[in-house]
Amino acid sequence: MAKPLKVLMAHNYYQNSGGEDISMATEISVLKQAGHQVRLVEWQNSSISRMSRLEKLALFWQTTWNIDSNNRVYQTLKAFNADLFHGQNLFPLASPSVYNAAYRLDVPVIQHLRNFRLGCLNAYLYRQGSVCEDCIGRNPWRGLIRRCYRDSWPASASLWQMVTTHRWRRTWQHDVNAFITPSHFSANKLIEIGVPEDKLYIKPNFIADPICTEDEIAPHPQRPLFVFAGRLSEEKGVLLLLKAWCLVKEPDWQLVILGDGPDRLKLEQFCQEKQLENVSFIGRLTHDQVLERFQTASLILVPSLWYETFGRVVIEAFACGRAAMVSDLGALAELVDENTTGCKVPPGNERAWAARLQWCGNHLNELKQWGNTARSIYKHFFTPEVNYKQLMEIYTGVLRG
Determine the Cα–Cα distance for residues 401 and 398; give it in Å rounded to an integer: 5
Determine the Cα–Cα distance for residues 104 and 132; give it in Å rounded to an integer: 38
Determine the Cα–Cα distance for residues 160 and 78; give it in Å rounded to an integer: 32
What are the 10-residue block averages of pLDDT along the chain, 401 residues in total? 88 82 93 97 90 89 96 98 97 95 97 96 94 96 95 94 96 97 98 97 96 81 97 96 97 97 97 97 95 97 97 97 98 97 97 98 98 97 97 96 83
For residue 75, what pLDDT is reported?
A: 98
Strand pairing of 130-131 and 109-112?
unpaired
Sheet holding 279-283, edge to edge: 279-283, 254-258, 225-229, 299-302, 324-327, 342-345
Q: Of 237, 220, 182, whose CA–CA distance to 374 is shortest?
A: 220
For residue 19, what pLDDT is reported?
A: 78
Q: Of 124, 173, 184, whose CA–CA distance to 150 is shortest?
A: 124
Domains of the chain, start order = 6-206+383-400 (3.40.50.2000), 214-381 (3.40.50.2000)
Give the contacts of 169 (CB within 8 A, at least 6 positions apart): none
Amino acid at 40: L
Determine the Cα–Cα distance for residues 276 and 283; give it in Å rounded to an integer: 17
Determine the Cα–Cα distance for residues 15 and 24; give it in Å rounded to an integer: 15
| Strands, E assignment, 99-249 | 109-112, 126-127, 130-131, 178-181, 200-202, 225-229
Q: Provide Rg for the chain, Cα atoms.
A: 22
- 49-69 pLDDT per residue, tens: 898 989 888 899 999 999 999
For residue 335, what pLDDT is reported?
A: 98
